[in-house]
A and B are shown apart, each in its own frame.
Chain A
């Protein structure tokens, strides 16, 4: 599903150049649930942003579902993001003047799906994350956990190939974190490929594979026994 070869990325900071990713080789199969771990500054978010086409790579190659991702102009990148990828952010990034349902329906709007169909589908995914009753509420009327579930519903609504989650539990307390991880696990159970960036060990162990990143290189890549989040959730 994802194939990365010899990926390099550096940022210019004034006269200095900060080499963040120093040759990453990495691939993900369909249906995997991968945690990318590392301390802050290890390059894990940069990696995720490149995977998400939110950022460009300097060197190396990136293939997503058989499509080489290179030399993208903004329009093409936007279309690929819309078609291939779903995002979940640490700070939820919901549009605050749109209701939960409208937020979920937004990626479908950019797919030019007719309004009625959009709303049906948005409602379906909101039901899946257990927020059907909250469909008409604005984000600021929701709790953090609920917001993240709306964000996950939004990411899933476009039916992407890969779901990318950047510290999805970073802004949540542990109970809510487990609820969100439970949801992510269930989505993964349905066969969706998911990448989770985290710096929390317990969250990482709820995935099926952990990739450790340190100073811009992969230091360890191991399959783990998945801890089901459901048992922490009553």
Chain B
């Protein structure tokens, strides 16, 4: 079956039936090509997804204040809840086991001016721990520290794009900017993977902001980082006791949906991961469909090829070809064609994916790729099913009496 002569015979047949060879080869190559590209695009989609949601720390709760909708313990409904520095201290004192860090956050939108350049940016008045929750990366200078908080310094850490907008190519560190009417010294420049919006932010000490706002001790929100080792279940338990604790302290009904809001990034992350998994399943489904379509395509071609060759096979049988010869000829030919064209299609697909890179980022496809094992696996599957698809009609052809095959026109 594997003698040199057999292969020579097969090569001759392939060479002299170019259209047939092309048709079956093209089907296989296209099937694998589409599979590889689709699968790669699916992975690119997942990459984009990870980029979008993967930039912040995941062990973080954000606690926002709201307005009550229910009366509780003698307090009327429609009461605005406020947080202050004392709440931060209380939480620190009550949850030492869970807590890794905590930072207040006061969000403002301010006009920021440097010399003649001016623009509006969001200003986040925070504590030093805030750096961990946002995974802020310092490019130059430093982040806010405890001394800034204690001394209520007028120091600002600005985003990369803020520096670019206001200072152009100039180094901003050490320069003074006007933030909402107060002069701040730039002590650091940061970057963030979260995108342009996050890089157009300015961080200042929360105590400074409170001093500017008539020496209040109110804060907008609390950013709470928990210890990662408590795990998902621990995080859920922490969220619940934190919720209970704040409600009790602020006299909010346990059933009130609007008094406070706790955004659990861990839970969000889990949902996002589930979404990504669903994406992967969809991609897998589409890819599976492509492979099935490819198999059906080959089967059709094989049925056509065998049908077309019925008479030739009859002649061969009359001249002494055994059924094994007949099946072997057809199978080896089809396996050879599917293997060669399958791998050609695979290589083209991989090449397309490699040249893509970030070109399709606008369509939410980043760095599409397929791992080679998967691509080869799919190709081999297609070859195997191509062989099975070829075997069935080949066996039938081998069983046709030569006299019937010869009569076939």
Contact residues of A with B, CB < 8 Å?
49, 52, 54-55, 74-75, 78-79, 81-83, 87, 89, 93-95, 97-98, 102, 106-107, 109-112, 114-115, 154, 158
Contacts of A81 in B (CB 8 A): 317-320
Tell me how far the C-beta of B316 lies from the nearest C-beta in chain A, rounded to whole angstroms: 7
- Contact check, A79 vs B322: say whether CB atoms are below 8 A apart: yes
- Contact check, B318 vs A54: say whether CB atoms are below 8 A apart: yes
- Contact check, A110 vs B13: say whether CB atoms are below 8 A apart: no
Tell me how far the C-beta of B3 lies from the nearest C-beta in chain A, rounded to whole angstroms: 8
Interface string of B292-331 (1 = CB under 8 A from A): 0000000000000000000110111111111111000000
- Contact check, B321 vs A97: say whether CB atoms are below 8 A apart: no
Residue B225 interfacial (CB < 8 Å): no
Contacts of A98 in B (CB 8 A): 12, 16
- Contact check, A97 vs B323: say whether CB atoms are below 8 A apart: no
Tell me how far the C-beta of A67 lies from the nearest C-beta in chain B, rounded to whole angstroms: 15
Residue B401 interfacial (CB < 8 Å): yes
Residue B115 interfacial (CB < 8 Å): no
Option from B17, B312, B322, B401 in Cβ contact (under 8 Å) with A75: B322
Within 8 A of A (CB), among B359-409: 398-399, 401-403, 406
- Contact check, B402 vs A97: say whether CB atoms are below 8 A apart: no
Bound CA span A133–B16, Å = 21
Tell me how far the C-beta of A148 lies from the nearest C-beta in chain B, rounded to whole angstroms: 14
CB-based nearest A residue for B400: A74
Tell me how far the C-beta of A80 lies from the nearest C-beta in chain B, rounded to whole angstroms: 8
Bound CA span A114–B319, Å = 17
Given contacts A54-B318, A107-B319, 15 further A-B contacts (CB under 8 A): A55-B403, A75-B323, A78-B322, A78-B323, A81-B319, A83-B320, A89-B406, A93-B314, A93-B315, A94-B315, A95-B312, A95-B315, A95-B316, A97-B13, A97-B16
- Contact check, A158 vs B318: say whether CB atoms are below 8 A apart: no
- Contact check, A154 vs B319: say whether CB atoms are below 8 A apart: yes
- Contact check, B315 vs A111: say whether CB atoms are below 8 A apart: no
Bound CA span A109–B3, Å = 12
Contacts of A115 in B (CB 8 A): 5, 8
Contacts of A49 in B (CB 8 A): 403
Tell me how far the C-beta of A111 lies from the nearest C-beta in chain B, rounded to whole angstroms: 7
Contacts of B312 in A (CB 8 A): 95
- Contact check, B16 vs A82: say whether CB atoms are below 8 A apart: no
- Contact check, B320 vs A82: say whether CB atoms are below 8 A apart: yes
- Contact check, B5 vs A93: say whether CB atoms are below 8 A apart: no
Within 8 A of A (CB), among B3-38: 5, 8-9, 12-13, 16-17
CB-based nearest A residue for B399: A74
Task: Please provide the 8 A-B residue pairs with the shortest distance between their CB atoms, ordered closest to farther.
Answer: A82-B320, A97-B16, A110-B320, A54-B403, A78-B322, A107-B319, A75-B322, A74-B323
Contacts of A95 in B (CB 8 A): 312, 315-316
